[in-house]
Amino acid sequence: MLRFKSITLTIILAINCLVSVSCSDSSESKKPPIPSFTYGIVNIYPHSADAFTQGLTIYDGILYEGTGQYGKSALRVVNLETGEIIEERRLPDSLFGEGIAVYNDKIVQLTWQSNTGFVYDRETLELIRQFSYPTEGWGITYDYDRDQLIMSDGRSCLYFLDPETFEQIDKVKVIADGSDVYGLNELEYINGEIFANLWPSFRAARIDPLTGEVTGWIYLSGLASHARGSGEQDVLNGIAYDRDANRLFVTGKLWNKIFEIELIRVEK
């Protein structure tokens, strides 16, 4: 009798093991693919073709833009409807401007390889202070849900900064299907997700800021034919979201247009 129980127990354990393996394999094989999105054009607006766009954001209906290149970098307030530069603050010629973010009554602007960022008064563009960081500066956005800045440096990590001290409080590696995602550039925080341009491409990623997982791919290559310049660097860069009106805008480096778009999921 004891021998029978032992044999029975062995069979039960073997069956449980097979079931467990089968469930695990089944779950893994059914992991859904990352969703893909294309776009529909809602509106087209003029954009300064000399703007090497590094940062783009909308706050209270006003469009702010950070531009790059040595000797040409600036922070701009732009009339979306006309493309007119309403106000501009130039950076020193020795600095290469990068991403910008607007929060409360301030604007923050990064520089590329100078390890230096600037904080301006949003109304006057007067310099309030500057701060430093150990990495390159690429993109930056403001997470209004958790009151923190999120910064990229062109690699695969996102850095979370205290908006008052600019100290790093966390970081996360961005991953898609188990692989690191590189080239994280201009950022925009949109309804709990981070939208990130991937340099040097015409693709953007939707990212969960808590896990770093890519939750969607956005393909925007078709826009280039409408607005792209002739240079090799004229890639997609610039995502702005108007929270008040629920409008999404994109542009690129040296593009002569800004596009208001709607995202369309690609059904597979």
2 vs 44 pLDDT, higher one: 44
11 vs 72 pLDDT, higher one: 72
| Burial class (CB within 10 angstroms; exposed 0-12, middle 13-18, buried 19+) of 36 | middle
Cα atoms in the 13 Å half-sphere on the side-chain side of 150: 30
Q: How far is CA 207 from the centre of its chain?
A: 8
Q: Residue 134 is encoded by which pair of tokens?
A: 């150990």
Q: Report, in this order, helix, strand and coil percent for the chain, each rounded to 5.
A: 15, 50, 40
pLDDT at 27 over 80: no
- Return d(Cα 132, Cα 111) in angstroms, integer: 10
pLDDT digits (tens, 9 = 90+) for 196-234: 999 999 999 999 999 999 999 999 988 988 876 656 677
For 5, list phi and psi in degrees, rounded to 5.
-65, -40
Q: How far is CA 30 from the centre of its chain?
A: 28
pTM here is 0.86
pLDDT digits (tens, 9 = 90+) for 95-140: 999 999 999 899 999 999 999 999 999 999 999 999 999 999 999 9
pLDDT at 145 over 70: yes
Alpha-helix runs per DSSP H in the chain: 2-29, 224-227
Beta-carbon contacts of 173 under 8 Å, excluding residues fewer than 6 positions away, are 156, 157, 180, 212
pLDDT at 18 over 50: no
pLDDT at 50 over 80: yes
pLDDT bracket for residue 11 (50, 70, 90): very low
What is the rounded end-to-end Cα distance, in angstroms, of the chain? Answer: 57
Q: What does the pLDDT average to over 57-76?
A: 96
pLDDT at 13 over 90: no
For 192, list phi and psi in degrees, rounded to 5.
90, -5
Judge whether 138 and 113 are in contact, CB under 8 Å: no
pLDDT bracket for residue 235 (50, 70, 90): confident
Q: Which among 83, 101, 177, 183 has a CA at the least distance from the CA of 143?
A: 101
